[in-house]
Structure formats: structure tokens, C-alpha cells
Amino acid sequence: MNKRRRFSIGEIANLTGVTIRTLQYYDNIGLVPLNKELTNGRRYYEERDITKLQQVLFYKSLGFPIKEIKELVVEAVTVEQVTDVLQKQKQIFYQKLNDMKMSISIIDTSLKNLEINQGLISGELVQLMSTLNKDLIFEYKDVHYDGKTEDVFIHHYEKTEEVIETYWKWKALVVEAVTHIINSVDPKSSQGQDFAKRWLEMVSQVTEGRHELIEAHKAAYENRNQWPEEDRRLMDFSDEFIDKSVESYLNVEKEI
């Protein structure tokens, strides 16, 4: 039988960079309690305690208070339990990634608005940006299309980070289109044509020029009545501007 490995509080302090005093505090409040040998009273950690400490440090790095961390930390002894812990942490990081992508998109939209208008951001845009639902992307798991379209999406977007990246490329441009409409930008103007160029570049990047992806995105667009309300509303509002700017851009390209 394999003997369980034991670690002293000093070893764990050196391994993690957490001070001995902090580890003693975690022990005192029962967050990551030390074990105690019956013969000599020596205190130690086992491997399962390291998993628990990893969870504590993870949630602490995200700013969670100790009271909440106590409720989140779980015993993880088996491979399956440790896997569940890491999967949960992975999902939290995806949430953080989504939040960062949204923040970057809003900043880019604000910068573009300032570039166009050479002035302060309009009140309408501020109000729009402040009401955007950063968690909306996760509602798309409840949206269902025909079997062929769903198969294409499932096979192409296997990684969550790719879905987040694609979504915010699209959403940022939709919000920018809304900004142009609010600021009465002509779709045929230089600003409208610059937008059209970047919209077409986005479409090209997202679909990779692949027929099945182009058709799948068309099907999703045609059935946007199933989209989350915010995205459907923004798309309906900006649809005409996008179509006119792209049409004008393509006509100019043909003439060249």
C-alpha cells in the first residue's frame, strides 16, 4: 500500500509563497486545517489538503472574501473530484475572459466614436454601453437551429475562448454601427465605408471563407428571433446601416 505523503507547514510555505502565519490562520479558522500526529503532536498537510489550499488561493486571487471562500472550497480526493474543481475554475476564467473582451470592445467603440466626432461621447452611447449585458453570450446555449447548422457550429466552435473571441468581434462592430446611427453618419461616407471594410473583414475571419460556415451563420442570422433580446434589438436597429454601408463599399470596389 502506498504511504500517504505528508508536508510540513514550512514546505508548503516555500512551495506556494504563502507565509507560515497565513497558513496558520487558515488552520485556526478551519479553512485548510492541519493534521496532527497522535504520537508526537507534529502538524502536517496531506496531498488532499494541497488541493484544498489551491482552491483557497485561486478564489483569493479573484478577490473573494474568506467567508465566501469557505463556502466554495470542496473536498477533492479522487481524480474525478479534482477534475470537477479544475473545470469549475476554468469556467470562472472563461467568465473573466468574456468580461475583458466586453470591456475592450466598449473602449474600442468609444475610441472610434471620439475619432469620428472629435468630441465627447454622446449621452445615448453612454446609456447604451452601460446597459449592455456582459453575460449575454452564455444565453446562446439555449438557442437551437436546424440540425445541420448546429452540427457546423458544434464542430467549428469547440473551444469556449474561440466562441467568446468571435462573439465580441461581432458585438463590437454592431455597437459601433449603433453609434454611427446615433451620430447620423451616412453609410456612404468615409466613416461608413471604413466600417463596411472592417465588417467584411470580420465576416471573412469568422467564416474563414468556408461555405458551410457561411451558410450556418446565414441560417443563424435569418432565425435571429431566437437570439437573446438585447442582441436581436441591436441587430434590428443597425441592420439597415450595415447593409447600406456594405453595399456602397462593394459597389466602389467593383468600380475600382
Domain segments of the chain as ranges: 6-77, 91-255
Count, residues in the chain: 256
pLDDT > 90 in the chain, percent: 21
Nearest to 202 by CA among 174, 182, 181: 174
DSSP annotation of 119 reads S
Which helix (H) or strand (E) element contains residue 250? helix 229-255
Q: For the beta carbon of residue 3, count every other beta carbon within 10 angstroms.
A: 5
What pLDDT is recorded for position 1?
Answer: 41
Note the pLDDT of residue 176: 85
Neighbours of 254 (CB within 10 A): 7
C-alpha span between 42 and 26 (Å, rounded): 17
Cα(138)–Cα(151) distance, integer angstroms: 18
Fill in the amino acid letter for 130.
S
Q: What is the CATH number of domain 6-77?
A: 1.10.1660.10
Best CA proximity match to 249, nearest among 203, 209, 189, 183: 189
Task: Provide the 8-state DSSP code for 167.
Answer: H
Phi then psi dihedrals of residue 7, to 5 deg: -130, 135
The pLDDT tens digits for 111-144 are 766 676 555 445 555 556 556 777 788 888 888 8
Q: What is the mean pLDDT of the chain?
A: 83
Rg (CA), the chain: 26
For 84, the enclosing helix (H) or strand (E) is helix 79-117
13: alpha, beta or left, given left = phi > 0 and alpha = psi -120 to 50? alpha
Mean pLDDT of 50-73: 88
| pLDDT of residue 199 exceeding 90 | yes
Residue 31 pLDDT > 70: yes
- C-alpha cell of residue 148: 445541420
Name residue 7's beta-bridge partners.
Answer: 45
The upper half-sphere exposure of residue 30, i.e. CA atoms within 13 Å in the direction of its Cβ, equals 3
Band of the pLDDT at 187, cuts 50, 70, 90? very high
Average pLDDT over residues 234-247: 94
